[in-house]
A and B are shown apart, each in its own frame.
Chain A
Amino acid sequence: MNIDQLKKISRQSFDINLQKANALKKAESDQILVYENHIFRADPETICFVRTASEGKDSFFMLDSNSNPVEITDPTEFLELLLQRNQSALNTYHQLYQNTKNRKV
């Protein structure tokens, strides 16, 4: 390949990574969930913690995104909402990612 082709590939890769970075930032915003008046991120860490802490329990305590404590009294409902928001955000991210990937050389 000549230098112009290499530069073209480099530029396209930069553009794809830029679109990916923006899509990821959007996914982070989309994952914000307010439950019981507290702000949470519907991210894997929160989902894993809620699933683990709720095993065999009717309620448990955890921290919101600002490290304020909150009692979760309906773990099943909370987990369901977290998963819904997480999957909705990642579904959008997936679509944007696929669109970007399809534009690759």
Chain B
Amino acid sequence: MTKGVLLYCFDTPQVSYSKITDRCISLIERNLDLPVTVITDADTEGRIKSNCDTRVVDVDKGNTKLSKPWYNLERHLAFDHSPYDRTVVMDVDYFCYSDKILRLLRSENDFLVHKSAHDVLHREQMRYDREAMLDLVWATVLIFDKTPRTRAIFDTVKLVKQNYVHYCNLYRITYKNFRNDYAFAIALNQINGHREYDVIPDSIATVPADAEILELNDNGAVIRYKDKTISLQDQDLHFLNKEVANV
């Protein structure tokens, strides 16, 4: 069975995702030792310096976040894009400072996702249980096998994407821009017969957008928020501050 990591990387006028991808890949090489395939566009491909397999696609540039371009509309195609039997799809700003993903790959679960994330500043702001009628999942990291059931999950995500306004109304989702987290939450809910599904049992450590990143090294990061300096070492981190490209 082949195993590998699938990344989506599309530079925007504001953010050099290719730089973030290079750092992400170096940590994958160091801590996971898995092959990497990057789905990208023609403009970005030449800026990715890492030694990895790249595949160029025509990116759907329709979405925005905080009035800035947000190219997040390809994730539902991961089943078709992945050359691996067992795939880890992760955001390029999810940095693997531990072997946690490698451990999870040894499980037999054909689809795994986090249902919980926490702000490393512990401000208790990452709960979305009042923003929709179903639990949010974090599509930051997806682990899946190619099975008929996981094909059904990705096909349902496509359906949700095509009819997103309808599903937002159905589940009373307050956030109206397309968001993979909700699309996968809806798909998992529906394919699992509106019952519980298997999840990754820990929480994603998230560095919030308003935290300044002082230092990134091989083992972790040092961040600052107001007068507080926090060192986060040897644990996977999801960076919401895209300045991570310039550190």
Contacts and interface: CB of A to CB of B under 8 A. Distances in A.
B11 interface: no
Interface stretch (A18-26, A52-60, A71-79): A18-26
Q: Chain A interface mostly helix, strand, loop or mixed?
A: helix
Interface in A16-53: 18-19, 21-22, 25-26, 28-30, 32-34, 37-39, 41
- Between A29, A34, A68, A92, the greatest number of chain B beta carbons within 10 A of the residue's beta carbon is seen for A29
A22 B108 contact: no
Contact of B201 (A11, A14, A21, A39): A39
A34 B112 CA distance: 13
A65 interface: yes
Interface string B25-45: 000000000000000000000
Interface string B70-106: 0000000000000000000000000000101001101
B109 to A, nearest CB: 7
Interface residues of A, number: 23
A2 interface: no
B230 A19 contact: yes
A32 B100 contact: yes
Contacts of B98: 29-30
Contact of A22 (B106, B198, B202, B232): B232
Contacts of B200: 32, 39
User: Could you tell me the dominant secondary structure of chain B's interface residues?
Assistant: loop
Chain B CB count within 10 A is highest, among A14, A30, A41, A68, for A30
B246 interface: no
Contacts of A14: 228
Interface of A: 11, 14-15, 18-19, 21-22, 25-26, 28-30, 32-34, 37-39, 41, 65-66, 68, 92
A11 B227 contact: yes
A35 B100 CA distance: 14
A37 B108 CA distance: 5
A66 B112 CA distance: 11
A18 to B, nearest CB: 6
B31 to A, nearest CB: 13
A66 B198 contact: yes
B164 to A, nearest CB: 29
A39 B205 CA distance: 19
Contacts of A92: 234
List 4 A-B pairs, minimum CB-CB distance, nearest first.
A37-B108, A66-B198, A65-B201, A34-B106
